[in-house]
Structure 1
Amino acid sequence: MLSGLFSRSAAQAAEPYRLLQASVEFRNAGKSWGSNQVLRAINFTIAPGEVVAILGPSGSGKSTLIRLINQLETLSEGDILIDNRPTRQLRGAALRQLRSRIGFVFQQFNLYAHLSALQNITLALKTVHRLSEADATARARALLARVGLAEKADHYPSQLSGGQQQRVAIARALASDPQIILFDEPTSALDPETIGEVLQVMKQLAHSGITMVVVTHEMQFAREIADRVVFIDGGEILEIATPQTFFTRPEHERARRFLNKVLDPLYTEDTHHADF
């Protein structure tokens, strides 16, 4: 059956990629840069509407994993299925359509400095989704209100705090009415004072029907909001569990050492260096 999907004609390949639901399945997915294998034998499925937190130490392959979902990074082996449909060989219009239904929130916001908060959201609505100026503006204002920034519509990124910029970025990700949103450490570039406002918006999105995949170092958020936790180290999935199980009874020794480090308020690099 899969071979038939891979052998679609050029005309079929140009058809819009329409998501019927928002399931994501990794099948023996791997990623290498030359001789450096960043991810290997990734196998797991994300159900429609599920909130999955991707945890692990820096350099473990977490960000690469979610960037494979919408092909910001290309697979080296295996495949990723969305709605049970292989995506590795999608090109052109089909790939653009898939990406248009998958929101992505980056670490560094990636807002256009010369555009206002409103314009950062309306840009893709007008150029990609072909909305009129009036419709795009109305949708953008509604989204800014949703993330608590209605009064900041005409402000430029330089006039906004880091937390406000990230909330604009979330509003932009929501603009295309995505069924999947990928978050790549969305609070890592924020001051401690502004992390909470971004997490609050994400909590409101969770379990709203949108599939959420969140690479994060915010353990409390993962514990409270995620349906499942995926723990990665060395490019491999070492453990998949509910937050209750993972944070209280992790099975893998590496996961236990990771939690001992990130949850220990008295941790210092000197005393725990051997763990990493």
Structure 2
Amino acid sequence: MENFNYHRPTKPADAVKAMKKAKDGKFLSGGMTLLPTMKQGLAAPTDIIDLGGLNNSGVEVAGAKVVVKAGTVHADVAADKELKKAIPALARLAGGIGDPHVRHRGTIGGSIANNDPAADYPAAVVGLNATVVTSSRKIAGDKFFTDIFTTALKDDEIVTAVEFPVPKRAAYVKFPNPASLYAMVGVIVAELKDGSVRVAVTGAGPKVFRVPEMEKALEAKFSADAIAGIKVSPRGLNNDLHASPEYRAHLVNVLARRAVAAAK
């Protein structure tokens, strides 16, 4: 690991200011990706801006909206009693991320800003029609994840919270890698209060994506049988030693049907 300058601001504005001054700065939240890559010599930032000093964590449930502050660790999202009542699918998703060490250090803000293609939270952000709140603006979940490990965030912009509208019903089901518990494929199905349905997939491709054909079928009839014959093309899906594009495409349908059956 190379030497670097360490900053621990207490205000978002100071964090942004430190990043603007840095030659090659990186924001640090939970550190679940950045620190391992630094130890392996794959990243050597000149400056680390630790967002832990912002004390920006917690879950707020107010009527039809749930706000999760960016510094909230996965374990706290999973354990929050009010969140469990409002969006049980989101609580269960958070409880299935990694192992206890990861769940007690990793944060929702760090996860979505990193945008690992196999991360769980991107599916929730898109599938639940969430809004990402940053230090300077609000970004619709559909427009936040732009490519593999890439988001709509500017270099000096930080995530401060995620706003989730409470759905009528939803469920998240994933096929986890047996070692890391990352999603080889994860699917969230959500019926929103306005009757629209969202089906968002993580792990299968370079970034989270929706399946419009399934959404349309489920809006007509919210049943696993309604999407049984809908196939996802393997073109462009991830291919590695764990699963081929064809297998991942098959899993999307299987997991989507399970999610529909589990939605509540």
TM class by smaller structure: under 0.3
Q: Which has the larger radius of gyration?
A: 1
TM-score by length of 1: 0.26
Higher helix content, 1 or 2: 1
Kindly indicate whether structure 1 or structure 2 has the higher relative contact order, using CA contacts under 8 Å at least 6 residues apart.
1
TM-score by length of 2: 0.27
